[in-house]
Structure 1
């Protein structure tokens, strides 16, 4: 996987993540190094910090994370509110199960309530009974699924449910999306859906853009 461009000027994002973000456990830095070495996409440290803070304010009972990665964002949310029940879905079992080992290194395995599910995000969402009581959705999976996920969840999510989407600035390509790239078009379609149907939303310009809104 080739490196994707940052939305920031050269050098500032690594400086933010390494020098300015408070990390509640050194294992987060270990995960960042592993992700870089293995080319596994994860949220930035700054994004993780903002996500954790949002969760700490809302204190959701049940979180559904679409896209586990290696569990980096999952553990940031655990830090935000350890009492939240988190279900996290990813089709890559070997990669996602790294979450368990990192949670153990952090000493969180006995304190958190996290269930990993291996499979397709879209297939999982097809069963409404699995997510109808979710309070908080964090979406960070294949970008081409973003509009479908919005159209599936938004009409039927319970009142007051919170949504957070990562990568909504799509490495700056929202400025000049390539119509030949499905991912570019999907991110733009998500923005069109949100702007036309959501009365209030907040863009956090951290990492690759974090979008927050509520039902």
Structure 2
């Protein structure tokens, strides 16, 4: 069941234009192989956000076959992209695709868990990331985000994809056999976190399978120190 009227999606996708013609065969390959690359309508919103913030350092957690990393690199020709992918076969495919696209000098793929890769990049000196894209295991978004914040600059934009989880985040009716109860709970907790914690200004968008965009404000009052950055904690008023 589509959460968004298919006519709306078709209308939006009718306006789709790839940021680079080399993305078109790449997209056809991903779609035909049923690889979960970013949807056209999601890509259009990401293109607008990237146009506005013009990042120089991009961190992606969940690189798949390299489509979105290529999109980021072609959309932001002066930027470097670091992308973590957990599955080894997918990672090898991404490396090949990035090499064929001639982007190996600016797109840096790492094999491994998103949190562990990000922490290693931090230890290697990665700092001042402008833009983070979360598109890996949905039940682990919170720990991926916490790791990403240790390399982000103040004002960085974090975009999280697939927030709706095909409707399951909105209603358990979309999971009638309760097979994804843990994923649903963790995603709801994640959404609550980015909206309640004062270090973020967040918005949800009914685009694709749901996007969340969060601006990082580590300087907000009520924070605590972690890895040299101010990570905020929710301060609840005892009178609430």
TM-score relative to the length of structure 2: 0.74
Higher relative CO (Cα under 8 Å, sequence separation at least 6) belongs to 1
- Tell me the secondary structure at the aligned position of residue 172 of structure 1: coil
Contact map agreement 1:27 1:102 (CA 8 A) in 2: no
Flag structure 1 segments of 5+ consecutive residues without an equivalent.
none
Contact map agreement 2:128 2:151 (CA 8 A) in 1: no
Residue in structure 1 matching 2:5, options 4, 9, 22: 9
- Tell me the secondary structure at the aligned position of residue 159 of structure 2: strand
Change (3 A) 1:133 1:98: same
Report deviation, 1:197: 0.7
> Which residue of structure 1 lines up, in the alignment, with residue 194 of structure 2?
194
Change (3 A) 1:96 1:16: farther
Instruction: Find the aligned partners of 1:111 and 1:96 in 2 and give their Cα distance.
Output: 14
Report deviation, 1:103: 5.1
Report deviation, 1:117: 0.9
Instruction: Find the aligned partners of 2:41 and 2:212 in 1 and give their Cα distance.
Output: 14
Instruction: Find the aligned partners of 1:40 and 1:173 in 2 and give their Cα distance.
Output: 21
Residue in structure 1 matching 2:71, options 47, 69, 76: 76
> Which residue of structure 2 lines up, in the alignment, with residue 164 of structure 1?
159
Instruction: Find the aligned partners of 2:104 and 2:54 in 1 and give their Cα distance.
Output: 16
> Which residue of structure 1 lines up, in the alignment, with residue 212 of structure 2?
211
Deviates more, 1:182-191 or 1:136-145: 182-191
Change (3 A) 1:10 1:49: closer
**Structure showing greater Rg:** 2
**1:140 is the counterpart of 2:135:** yes
Deviation string 1:61-93 (CA, Å, 9 cap, x unpaired) is: 211110111122112212321111111110234
- Tell me the secondary structure at the aligned position of residue 122 of structure 1: helix
Total equivalences in the alignment: 208
Deviation string 1:105-150 (CA, Å, 9 cap, x unpaired) is: 6xx5269611111111122233443544322111110101112223
Instruction: Find the aligned partners of 2:150 and 2:66 in 1 and give their Cα distance.
Output: 28
Deviation string 1:29-79 (CA, Å, 9 cap, x unpaired) is: 323332233221111011112112211221112111101111221122123
Flag structure 2 segments of 5+ consecutive residues without an equivalent.
217-240
Deviation string 1:169-205 (CA, Å, 9 cap, x unpaired) is: 2222222145652222221111011111145222232
- Tell me the secondary structure at the aligned position of residue 21 of structure 1: coil
**1:129 is the counterpart of 2:123:** yes
Contact map agreement 2:98 2:107 (CA 8 A) in 1: no
Deviates more, 1:123-132 or 1:45-54: 123-132
Structure with greater proportional strand content: 2
